[in-house]
Amino acid sequence: MKDNHQKQNIIVVGGGIAGIAAALSAAKTGVSVLLINNEGNVGGDACTGMPILGAYSTRGEKCVGGVLDELLAVCKGFSEACIGPVCDFRTVYGLCVNPEALRLAILLLLKKYGVKLLLNAVVTDTESVNGTVTGIKVICGNGETRFFNCRYVIDATGSGNIVSRTGGKVSYGDVDRNMQPVSLVFRMANVAFEPFLRFIKENPEEALLAENPVLERSRVKAAELLYRNGYPYVALSANGKLLGTALLNKTMYPCTAMFITPVSMTNGELCINSTRLAHLDASLPENASGALLSLAEQVQTAIKFLTSQVPGFEKAVLSGIAPRLGIRETGRILGEYELKQDDIVSDRKFPDGIGLGTHHVDIHGAGTEQTRIPVKDGGAYGIPFSCLIPRYLNNVLVAGRCIASDRGANGSARVMGTCLVTGQAAGTAATLADKLRIVDFRKIDIAMLKGVLLEQGAILA
Ligand SMILES: Cc1cc2nc3c(=O)[nH]c(=O)nc-3n(C[C@H](O)[C@H](O)[C@H](O)COP(=O)(O)OP(=O)(O)OC[C@H]3O[C@@H](n4cnc5c(N)ncnc54)[C@H](O)[C@@H]3O)c2cc1C
């Protein structure tokens, strides 16, 4: 590449949770890592207050370790930052963490392990020879262009942007390119948890409860347990009288449920995930920008509904809005193996499995539509390393939402716990390849990779 090039061993593109896991697991071995993100910060959707899903199975077994454990250990150093795994007796356990503490923990670990960070910088092009990337071109926020030569690239862009720019293949949404709706998540503080949970206990039909036969089957019992546990990890259902009536009389916008997650017990603070706009290709900037404005109106509507209709929210105040539009679905790469919906629901394991996923197939549709198909017996499925290897490319791996998966499988693998798993595996594989001077990731010794992941605290089976 051009004269003003800089050299890096490993470049990670994308500062969401997958890119963070990749950068941290590579940098902690001492190799030089550059993490590039086109936003002014890192963390993405992981720092909005939504629960980390996929880290615990429906049965409550811990399935993700490694970088996640390191992040939580730092979070636990701040008072009350980690509420922990909570079950709403619906389908899953959610790991509830204060999003500001999580972002701080991420930044502290990036600093600790010496990850070089390049923010407000977009990778616009790659240079490659016969499927091997030799360098990337970056446009910085100030308009400057930089070139970086590198040995390995990890595409953690959430959309396979680097793969598609380098000659790999990426597909989007369903056959008609329909994608899951976009949302704007927000937080409210000063909520009185006890009256809210009492309301759910006395009206269990108001919440999505007892959907998975592995968990408590009776809605009444599930609501009772929720109340007793004291954590407002609840999904207020559109089939309930309260939200259902609001949908009918149009004082609320159509949604499946209001997914509520506690982020601070002291401040009575919750994250609320309910707004949605469907049938929109958010990879187009006009669409994403317009959606943000429409969703802001939905947030206003939701606040009005909650404070006027829902017990416990009478004195609640808005405490935060996600710093960006939440995009559930964009591109999935064509990889050496495509993870399939059937692999998820049948909890299939693979010889080249580099970690576990546990979240149900979860595909949000328009209005009140949502498909949820649980993993067999509330267990965990394996994630093959070959899903991280883009077809036709040699020294590129993907991590996070855009791994090779069919649409159903992606509805599960897109969650944060699983993004951490693929990020950690990609970062570790890149360090191994660097150490052994392997150019093509297909030649990585899987047993060796698994050994290093286990040493890093990853959970493989
Ligand atoms: C509304 C909503 C609700 C969700 N609910 C949950 C939940 O409750 N629990 C859960 O676990 N998961 C949930 N998810 C899913 C999960 O949050 C995301 O799938 C996950 O965080 C994606 O992480 P990622 O690192 O793969 O991608 P991202 O977080 O999208 O990170 C990719 C980053 O790469 C950057 N980038 C892209 N192209 C370039 C480029 N060319 N140059 C530089 N940077 C680039 C992007 O701007 C972005 O910052 C939800 C998602 C949404 C949108």
166 touches ligand 1 (CB under 6 Å): no
260 touches ligand 1 (CB under 6 Å): no
Q: Are strands 145-155 and 396-398 parallel, antiparallel or unpaired?
A: parallel
pLDDT at 90: 84
Taking the CA of residue 18 as reference, the ligand 1 atom at the shortest distance is 25
46 touches ligand 1 (CB under 6 Å): yes
Sign of the torsion formed by the C-alpha atoms of 253, 258, 264 and 268: positive
The DSSP code for 163 is H
pLDDT at 279: 87
Crossing angle of helices 17-27 and 416-436, in 10° steps, is 30
- Tens digits of residue pLDDT in 156-206: 999 999 999 999 999 999 988 889 999 999 999 999 999 999 999 999 999
- The candidate with the shortest Cα–Cα distance to 13, out of 118, 108, 114, is 118
Pocket-testing residue among 416, 420, 421, 422, ligand 1, by greatest number of atoms within 8 A of Cβ:
416
pLDDT at 4: 57
Domain assignments of the chain as residue spans, ordered by start: 5-80+98-176+329-455, 182-327
> 15 C-alpha vs ligand 1 centroid, how far in Å?
9
150 touches ligand 1 (CB under 6 Å): no
- Does the structural domain 5-80+98-176+329-455 have CATH classification 3.50.50.60? yes
- Tens digits of residue pLDDT in 349-390: 999 999 999 999 999 888 888 888 999 999 999 999 999 999
pLDDT at 28: 95
Query: 401-420 as b/e, with b when 16 or more CB fall inside 10 Å?
Result: bbbbbbbbbbbbbbbbbbbb
Q: Which residue's CA is the closest to the ligand 1 atom numbered 29?
A: 16
* Alpha-carbon torsion angle 40, 42, 46, 49, nearest 10: -60
pLDDT at 3: 46
Low-confidence ranges of the chain (pLDDT < 50): 1, 3
pLDDT at 183: 96
Q: Do 238 and 368 touch, CB atoms closer than 8 A?
A: yes
Taking the CA of residue 44 as reference, the ligand 1 atom at the shortest distance is 29
